[in-house]
Chain A
Amino acid sequence: MSTITAPTKEAATKGRNLVEMNWDPITRIVGSLGIFTKIDFANRQVAECHSTSSIFRGYSIFMKGKDPRDAHFITSRICGICGDNHATCATYAQNMAFGVRPPAMAEWIVNLGEAAEYMFDHNIFQDNLVGVDFCEQMVKETNPSVFAKAEKTAAPGAALHGYRTIADIMRALNPFTGAFYREALQMSRMTREMFCLMEGRHVHPSTLYPGGVGTVPTIQLFTDYIVRLMKYVEFMKKVVPLHDDIFDFFYEALPGYEEVGKRRILLGCWGSFNDPEHCDYTYKNMTEWGRKMYVTPGVVVDGKLVTTDLVDINLNIRILLGSSFYDDWQNSETFVKNDPNGNPVDKRHPWNQTTIPRPQKRDFNGKYTWVMSPRWLDKRTGDHLALDTGGGPIARLWATALAGLVDIGYIKATGSSVKMYLPKTTSLPEVEFEWKIPKWSNAIERDRARTYFQVYAACAALYFAEQALEELHSGRTRTWNEFKVPEEAIGCGFHEAVRGVLSHHVVIRKGKIANYHPYPPTPWNANPRDIYGTPGPYEDAVQNTPIFEENGPDKFKGIDIMRAVRSFDPCLPCGVHMYLGNGKTLETRHSPMFGLQP
């Protein structure tokens, strides 16, 4: 973990003694995220937080003029861990723009692939990256008294996961040496195999196309997938109680820990897993087929479900500037005046955005990042809400639970919870898990939701495999429908990347891409203060976070801040080299092993 501490005494805005502490770049996440804070050690609180990203990719610029059929191959390369989410979302936008509906078999194959992706990614992030923040080595260094308590606390789920005390769980989470850490790594290999079965390679799928997939459906294909799925199901029966034990312990051992990473409940979920019976990829019917998704789209404000309508969600997206390195585009072209239903589309909507980068020096009182500020306009109040995804799972589960629409036997949304049923496996009986809507949107609950969503994805996959086999046995093995790229068209795709909301908006002119704006979850989470002064989610979640770490400023690791930030599962496209101007390259190596260089 690269920590740069500069203990300058600042006569700060509130007359407090603030110490500047910066983590740039943050390790154990993908990319170039810098968190700059001012910490009030006397009151054990984070007074100020700025979230920055020092990298600009330029997709919205170079996609222009390209063949629209290539969009999903190219945008897949936005990310090396969730690239398949991008490819999938891009095909949703392409299908809408081209007016094509894939055969049902194709939809099940894509759903099986995406389910495998969630099972893979959440597993590796939670147990090999987030888990390190809760492991013996880390807790001993940051909160020795908590570790002492952990040695004496029996794990409530010991009979299920096999670890007798909380400290035993913490030892098992140690990077590279912990038993559970290593088991999780093996599981992550297996889930990637599941993905490769469906989509040829991971993370940039080769079998996805607009109009369907190229995968050949056979009995062997699905049984190979199911065999691995059942091993994962068995694994999860142990992982849920293990994580519940450690997260509940933190609440108990550190009263007040619910304040860490806590922010107002403002969650966005764009839905995942289309139902081929209802989804025809037309904008006209999007409200209806959006609600049939196996993860329900929705916006949750202060615990209330404000909408589950993808058209409503679409029209109220606003991309604000304020602290980002771009010029405004009010004088640029308006590509889309009205959506296909006739509703007016705002100039700040992705369809009408023109990206004009303006590189400059970072200034925390002015512009300080390459991330723009996506917001969602709440028509009821006129507020531009800084929605977050909580890392993905918490928003998905929360929206799905409240909507109460999903009911497929393996999963049932009840209005206040989500029930998940795992069948009998090799050595363990059937189990029912229930994720109940928590009281807070904070670090611990985001992490807990991730584990439960791993179960959700496994349950969904069981259902999808059954549907796919039924299509196969009925002889409906076609996986692709033909299309023709129109001269003029628009399309939008809504999906859930592993980390949360993902949308791709495309405008086609003269048969080529005229405008393309993808909005992955991280801009929603990592953005800076907008022109109205509203801070981004990382910023306000970290601000006012209390410090529980037992170290003073000299040995400070900022573990509570790191737990808060990592609970969002940050994923910015990776930057290993920093350019310092005049051609000087600074090489930085990331290592999870507390700075030890391999």
Chain B
Amino acid sequence: MIPLDDQLRPTWLFGKTVHEGCDRAGYYEQGDFAEVYGSPKCIVKLGCWGPVVNCNVPKRGWMAGIGGCPNVGGICIGCTMPGFPDKFMPFMDEPPGAKISSAAVGAYGRAITALRSITQSTVNKEPKWRHPRAELTTGYHPRSY
């Protein structure tokens, strides 16, 4: 028998949450949230219940890796859950916990994004020895010429 959880659901399908498999989780971590539908950012403030829903659709896509609700801009409405639909309606409202979590991660995210942009602009430049000047500053000292 394949591994089942305490609600007798196959763990390969229901073991992880939507959030753990979502393409946009990085936006969440950086506190970067969508204000309108159609934005490529995290849609948790627009009604997505991903963080608390057991489902692996965003991880494996819907068909052959294609699709996968929040990946494509569709808020997760928790349709795999025993509490669906009553505990998730109205679907387009921000879930109750999201206000707190998005505020918390927002503060951290803004700070960390600022720090990351410093590192990022550093690594977006090539090493100092790469220049078109005549003299060699790579640290190599030729002995034969």
A197-B66 in contact (CB<8A): yes
Kindly supply a per-residue 1/0 record for chain A positions 197-213, scoring 1 wherever the CB is within 8 Å of any chain B CB and 0 otherwise. 11111101111110111
Residues of B within 8 Å of A192, CB to CB, are: 63
- A66 contacts the other chain (CB 8 A): yes
A140 partner residues in chain B, CB cutoff 8 A:
none
Cross-chain contact A73 with B71 (CB below 8 angstroms): no
A205 touching B74 in the complex, CB below 8 Å, given contacts A73-B91, A196-B62: yes
Query: In the assembled complex, how far is the CB of residue B80 from the closest CB belonging to chain A, in whole angstroms?
Result: 12
B66: A residues at CB distance < 8 A: 193, 196-197, 224
Which A residues are in CB contact (< 8 Å) with B70? 206
> With a CB–CB cut-off of 8 A, which chain B residues contact A224?
66
A60 to B: closest C-beta gap in Å: 17
Residue total for A at the interface (Cβ-Cβ under 8 A): 36
Q: Are A200 and B73 interface neighbours, CB within 8 A? A: yes
Take A70-B89, A202-B62 as given contacts and tell me if A478 and B38 are in contact as well, using a CB distance cutoff of 8 Å: yes
The answer for the CA separation of A206 and B62 in the assembled complex, in Å, is 11
Q: Is the CB of B75 within 8 A of A214?
A: yes
Given contacts A189-B64, A200-B62, contact A214 B89 (CB under 8 A): no
Interface size class of B (residues with CB under 8 A): 20 to 34
Beta-carbon contact of A202 and B37 below 8 Å: no
The answer on a CB contact under 8 Å between A216 and B36 is: no
Q: Provide the residues of chain B in CB contact with A70, threshold 8 Å.
A: 85, 89-92
The reply on A480 being an interface residue by CB < 8 A is: yes
Contact with A along B87-106 (1 / 0, CB 8 A): 00111100000000000000
A69 touches B91 (CB 8 A): yes
* Residues in chain B near residue A208, CB distance under 8 A: 74
Contact between chains at B37 and A209 (CB < 8 Å): yes
Is B112 in contact with chain A by the CB < 8 A criterion?
Answer: no
Which of B36, B71, B74 neighbours the largest number of chain A CB atoms within 10 Å of its CB? B74
Chain A nearest CB from B46 CB (Å) reads 8
Could you tell me which B residues sit within 8 Å of A by CB distance?
36-40, 43, 46, 57, 61-64, 66-77, 79, 85, 89-92
State whether A206 and B75 are in contact (beta carbons under 8 Å apart), knowing that A67-B90, A196-B61 are contacts in the complex.
yes
- Top 3 closest pairs, chain A to chain B, by CB: A206-B74, A196-B67, A214-B73
Chain B: which residue is nearest A205 at the CB level?
Answer: B74
Residue from the list B63, B74, B89 in contact with A207, Cβ < 8 A = B74
Report how far A198 CA is from B68 CA in the complex, Å. Answer: 11
**Which residues of the other chain, A, contact B71 by a CB distance below 8 angstroms?**
200
A201 touching B74 in the complex, CB below 8 Å, given contacts A67-B89, A69-B90, A196-B62: yes
Q: B90, A200: Cβ atoms under 8 Å?
A: no
Residues on B with beta carbons closer than 8 Å to the beta carbon of A479: 37-38
Measured CB to CB, the nearest residue on chain A to B89 is A70
Q: Is the CB of A216 within 8 A of B63?
A: no
Within 8 A of B (CB), among A51-100: 66-67, 69-70, 73-74
Given A193-B63, A206-B74, 5 more pairs with CB closer than 8 A: A66-B89, A207-B72, A213-B38, A215-B73, A217-B38
Docked Cα-Cα span, A206 to B48, in Å, equals 10
Collect the chain A residues with CB atoms within 8 Å of residue B43's CB. Answer: 214
CA gap between A215 and B72 in the complex, in Å: 5
B81 to chain A, nearest CB (A): 14
Task: State the CA gap A163–B68 with chains docked (Å).
Answer: 39
Do the beta carbons of A206 and B76 come within 8 Å of each other?
yes
> Is A554 an interface position by the 8 A CB rule?
no
Cβ of A482 within 8 Å of any chain B Cβ, yes or no, is: yes
Contact with B along A217-228 (1 / 0, CB 8 A): 100000010000
Partner of A189, one of B63, B68, B73: B63
Q: Would you give the 0/1 interface string for A172-201, flagging 1 where the beta carbon is closer than 8 Å to chain B? A: 000000000000000001001100111111
B67:A213 contact, CB within 8 angstroms: no
Smallest CB-CB separation from A477: which chain B residue? B38
Contact flag A480-B75 (CB < 8 Å), given A189-B64, A201-B57: no
Tell me the A437-481 residues at the B interface (CB within 8 Å): 477-480
In the complex, chain B residues whose CB is within 8 Å of the CB of A215: 38, 72-73
Distance in Å from the Cβ of B25 to the closest Cβ of chain A? 16
Output the least CB separation between A564 and chain B (Å).
34
